[in-house]
Structure 1
């Protein structure tokens, strides 16, 4: 009976596949960033209301964040959708070379146009099945702005919007197909604004107090700090204001943007306290002032093996996807744009995805323009090098996430290649496949109470008595 329902689910999602592909393409065209995602949210909310969901918009202080619910009672399954793009990533679709459509414009360089549409397909799919078969439970689709920077889900977690959810499911477009089996890095973002006194750098330098000097001294201090932090931690920075264009002026203003990453939140906080001291010391040395502004922060992802295993089993009935010769040729154009250095890393990637694979299989996989193989289920204690705000809900309930290979093999996220291929039929097939896996895993949770019990027990064990605390101070609002 369960397999019959899963077949029904897949057929139901397939029948609406054109609608989901169209939504993905329209979001690709909107290419809205951070919290300013009105058109994208409008599109989702209109569709969800027509599908019978009850929608609440404007949660956690974010005008374009929403939660759409269907059903009643337990279990409550949360599906996470994203739809924010990246700044300055304008790129023409389907052209295998860098071709900017509009200078300074945005682009979907991380596939969130497809991510949101695939999550939508999964949520609507399980809703349709619940209505058809009279299943008890609740499905909630969370519309989450600002995953790239701003971390909307962290604000939602802080606000209590995820309370009562029993499990979270989501996915991400990628160049490989696998279930997440490792944690992510916690991250904190800050701005440091230095203010001094301007003066003529030649005639009266003694009267000036250089904010630019203060910023540079901070960077130097942090550079020395890097030797004294844990190996898995990272500190990134960028000048957002270097003062001005005239070298003969003592710069009265300078600003820095800092990111601090580490495997655990307490490690991030400890490094942050040391960075604060360096910033204040730089201001003291230069007789300037420093204003410290929070941007955002997110936690480290908590892997749930019980849910991951269930998700991986469902992937076996969906992958590999039936790509055509034309689609493989299309992806090959973008694969050819990879540098030799980037191609060399594919063998390492293939070995990590298929630890039991033969050398011939690894070589074959690494050389594919589109890696359509379903990766083995691999768990690792070593975290991935990136961060995601999916981590915050993962502290609150068991969470599972899959990657689907619908981007050219070897091309990195946040690249022009991802923008260029974002409206392709390969991406459309990928998002529909992700929706099917999400819906089938949601069905497992609805029908198999032992799965949910095991996942919750594991979740509590993973936390080890530690409670989720959002790193973002209460007085810091999205923006």
Structure 2
């Protein structure tokens, strides 16, 4: 599919934005703020978008680091989104050896799968499409959503529940990753997450034996039998969950369950029962029945371990996403532009940087240190067949990402542009050596710039071709109607309170510099009955 004059104008604008937005990308990369705590990153986007003439709602959906930016007076309405959350524990400077960024905690956040580039790629596409419409005239409304906390699949389920995607005519989902391709049939799975809070209200168990008294052991709290407390409850919950995996669901279908211990104010060790502990569980699977079974086992375990530790337990939802809905019309349209405009080209300094990383990793430097995928464009069907080989025949989705929420409200395409990833570490996107390149302009700017051009060209193609948009909508309606009814509406209620007040890690500035800080909350969810 050759580009129209208006699409070519958008691509020209996107290419010009590469130098214009390079410093902006480096700025977002340097902030490296984790989920729900992307205050400086969100503010930077809002300021830039307002300067470009977008109307911006900040704090959209009740999320302080989310936003909804709109430009244009008349449709069609095309939805794009930016992400900008980093991964705690993955700080890496832009140097060819392992080194956390200067002046920060060694386990500070860093960008692994380059959400910094994801957001700037979408931003470039939005600005390029907008500028092309301004230059050439015509209709079109561009929506750019600021989507925090993708690492916990957080914001998109909230935006969907509160109706933010209902007016969209189409949506484009982008991620820098391993290949230059788009998804076809196989999209991402369901992803649910909860936080259990254990609280020890009574320091002593009410059913302690009668012979335990100060007459026997002497007065004083240090000589009293105390409740096991909240830390014991957390430890028991973690252990019980590991033991109970066979009861959650048979080990088929590539489902997974992960946990993280959230911070609490138990800073001393004394003969006092720890009062509060919190643990987050996140699980992904291809079927809602598996999700519900895992949830029930988690709830059952939480009730029992709370009783053993003389605690109360409550549960609060973090997110609840649906699987992705395919759209071949959208995939074919975007892929035509992906193939025509790519793949991205990289300067000699990127290859030299990669060879230096090979040396540090103990490998002989090679002429091309990167995976071959960066040099070619892979068809959606080829990518789909490659993924299919890893799945049971009955499974139609894999992995997790909350972009899937867009796909139930408008025809949606999901695509990728390939980052330079080292062959020496098998392309591991979380490896420090690959993370070092996420802050190197010569390595990362071509990745998001390529995406910006593809996004802008695809957006204008959808805006300018009513028949194409109609075909995409018709396929969307057919596929949606054929899907389980449970997925037709968001799984979270419209009045859902985003979990922004839970103790997610963040950096705050004190007299000592940037330090980890955990906020307080009194909302621990509903009691686990």
Tell me the TM-score range normalised by the shorter chain.
Answer: 0.7 to 0.9
8 Å contact from structure 2 (residues 78, 170) kept in 1:
yes
Change (3 A) 1:384 1:329: farther
Pairing partner for 1:309 from 332, 335, 342: 332
Q: Which moved more, 1:364-373 or 1:381-390?
A: 364-373
Change (3 A) 1:339 1:34: farther
Task: Report the Cα offset of residue 210 of structure 1.
Answer: 4.2
Task: Report the Cα offset of residue 156 of structure 1.
Answer: 1.1
Determine helix, strand or coil for the equivalent of 1:165: coil
Pairing partner for 2:123 from 120, 134, 138: 120
Q: Which moved more, 1:1-10 or 1:147-156?
A: 1-10
Task: Report the Cα offset of residue 186 of structure 1.
Answer: 1.5
Determine helix, strand or coil for the equivalent of 1:192: strand
8 Å contact from structure 1 (residues 335, 408) kept in 2:
no
Determine helix, strand or coil for the equivalent of 1:390: helix
Task: Report the Cα offset of residue 266 of structure 1.
Answer: 4.9
In structure 2, the partner of 1:189 is 193
2:138 matched to 1:147?
no
Pairing partner for 1:331 from 347, 354, 368: 354
Q: CA RMSD in A?
A: 3.1
2:457 matched to 1:456?
no
Determine helix, strand or coil for the equivalent of 1:281: helix
8 Å contact from structure 2 (residues 162, 495) kept in 1:
no
Q: Which moved more, 1:300-309 or 1:189-198?
A: 189-198
Change (3 A) 1:68 1:250: closer
2:410 matched to 1:397?
yes
Task: Report the Cα offset of residue 258 of structure 1.
Answer: 1.0
Deviations along 1:312-364, whole A, 9 cap, x unmatched?
11111122222233322323444667799xxxxxxxxxxxxxxxxxxxxxxx9
In structure 2, the partner of 1:175 is 178
2:92 matched to 1:91?
yes
| TM-score normalized with structure 1 length | 0.85
2:497 matched to 1:476?
yes
Deviations along 1:177-219, whole A, 9 cap, x unmatched?
221232212112222222345579x986854334444334433
2:229 matched to 1:225?
no
Task: Report the Cα offset of residue 433 of structure 1.
Answer: 0.3
2:378 matched to 1:375?
yes
8 Å contact from structure 1 (residues 114, 427) kept in 2:
yes
Larger radius of gyration: 2
Change (3 A) 1:332 1:184: farther
Pairing partner for 2:444 from 419, 423, 427: 427
Change (3 A) 1:382 1:326: farther
Deviations along 1:392-413, whole A, 9 cap, x unmatched?
1121111112111124243333
For 1:195 and 1:393, the matched residues in 2 are separated by 37
For 1:460 and 1:160, the matched residues in 2 are separated by 18
For 1:278 and 1:292, the matched residues in 2 are separated by 12
In structure 2, the partner of 1:257 is 280
How many correspondences in the alignment?
456
For 1:161 and 1:302, the matched residues in 2 are separated by 18
Q: Which moved more, 1:77-86 or 1:384-393?
A: 384-393
Task: Report the Cα offset of residue 302 of structure 1.
Answer: 2.0
For 2:405 and 2:413, the matched residues in 1 are separated by 13
Q: Which moved more, 1:423-432 or 1:276-285?
A: 276-285
For 1:81 and 1:384, the matched residues in 2 are separated by 23
8 Å contact from structure 1 (residues 122, 436) kept in 2:
yes
For 1:268 and 1:473, the matched residues in 2 are separated by 21
Q: Where does structure 2 lack aligned partners over 5 or more consecutive residues?
A: 206-216, 389-393, 501-529
Task: Report the Cα offset of residue 137 of structure 1.
Answer: 2.2
For 1:241 and 1:137, the matched residues in 2 are separated by 46
In structure 1, the partner of 2:113 is 110
Q: Which moved more, 1:430-439 or 1:36-45?
A: 36-45
| TM-score normalized with structure 2 length | 0.78
Q: Which moved more, 1:89-98 or 1:68-77?
A: 89-98
8 Å contact from structure 2 (residues 337, 454) kept in 1:
yes
Q: Where does structure 1 lack aligned partners over 5 or more consecutive residues?
A: 341-363
Alignment of 1:4-403 (within 5 A): 4-101=5-102, 102-103=104-105, 104-149=107-152, 151-181=154-184, 182-196=186-200, 207-228=226-247, 229-230=249-250, 231-232=252-253, 233-240=255-262, 246=269, 253-334=276-357, 368=371, 371-378=374-381, 379=384, 380=388, 382=395, 385-403=398-416
